[in-house]
Amino acid sequence: MLLAATGPLRVLGLQVELLAGQTEANLARAEALIRANPGHRLYVLPELSSHGYCDEVLSQLDPTRPERPAQDAESGSVTAFFCRLARDVDAHISYGFLRDAGAGRTCICQAVVDPRGQLVLAYDKMHLCDMGDCSEIAHGCSPGEGELGVFECDGVRVGVTICYDLRFPELYRALAWDAGCDLILHPAAFVRDATFPMYHQQFVATRAVENGVYLLSVSYAGERFGSSVACPPWIGDVPGLAAPLAAASLGTAEGVLPLVVEPRHLEAVRRAYPYRRDVHPRLRAPPAQGDRRLQREKSGR
């Protein structure tokens, strides 16, 4: 399906409270927020939204412990829950959980179910954070093997990244340019430390603008987290658009953050600020699907 056939895509970030290790309560909270905010085509929860991102959860990865929370992406109870809910609300839902990857490996996974109630993506976090207070590797997590996280939502190609992935520009290039994504999700559990105010918002804006894509970064509510960001592919004036494009963000309270993917904004930004055309051919081949789709969209109007 082409962007032209779809019109704007309405997406909602859910900045939920973290209930440490209380999987059923986390699922119920996500459902309540989704049902209270109908009319969106894609709902996005933070990193490990089903269990909560915290030491109490990560320290249970030891496979000899009976309460080990990791589960299978296809057959686990978390996916079953969201499959039912997605069918019921007629939308895509993206949620996080610890994935049992077999052979003793546990991955930090962000999955997507579609309105038919089917699992369409299970992306394993490629870059694990292992510095400061954040020791995913020390807790026993394994990095994803490098499969990109890409799915289609009403004709829009959507990429998925998780938290620390944001620091690595080549992943966003691969999603935006090679895989033709126009929206990239960034579920996170970005702890509000001394570096947070600068790095979180700045890196989100840079990744969106340098790639000409929408970016939705969704974290937990609470004093330690917050500041989920919805970023357009440019911030400021764009020739041909009546109003400047602006990023939006939340505070630390629980809440929702809407983002609307507007094909006509994407097209205006890429025409006015042609980064996607201007990259030097010695460094990277020009993007394939993304711009081709926009061309087809233009010619079809």
> What does the binding site for a second copy look like in residue numbers (CB under 8 A)?
126-132, 143-146, 164, 167-171, 173-174, 194-195, 198-199, 202-203, 205-206, 209-210, 235-237, 244, 272-275, 278-284
Provide the minimum distance between the beta carbon of 136 and a second copy in the complex, in angstroms, as a whole number.
Answer: 11
Is the CB of 67 or the CB of 278 nearer to a second copy? 278
Provide the minimum distance between the beta carbon of 28 and a second copy in the complex, in angstroms, as a whole number.
Answer: 34
Q: Is there a contact between 186 and 201 (Cβ–Cβ < 8 Å)?
A: no
Is the CB of 282 or the CB of 301 nearer to a second copy? 282
Q: How far apart are CA 149 and CA 158, in angstroms?
A: 8
Is the CB of 213 or the CB of 221 nearer to a second copy? 213
Provide the minimum distance between the beta carbon of 165 and a second copy in the complex, in angstroms, as a whole number.
Answer: 9
Q: Which helix (H) or strand (E) holds 186?
A: strand 183-187
User: For the sheet containing 42-44, what is the strand order?
Assistant: 119-124, 105-113, 92-102, 42-44, 9-15, 255-261
- Quote the tokens at residue 143: 């990095």
Provide the minimum distance between the beta carbon of 120 and a second copy in the complex, in angstroms, as a whole number.
Answer: 22
Which amino acid is residue 260, in one-letter code? V
Q: How far apart are CA 82 and CA 145, in angstroms?
A: 25
CA 234 and chain centroid, separation: 18
Bridge partners of 157? 152
Which amino acid is residue 38, in one-letter code? P
Provide the minimum distance between the beta carbon of 237 and a second copy in the complex, in angstroms, as a whole number.
Answer: 6
Is the CB of 37 or the CB of 201 nearer to a second copy? 201
Is the CB of 93 or the CB of 171 nearer to a second copy? 171
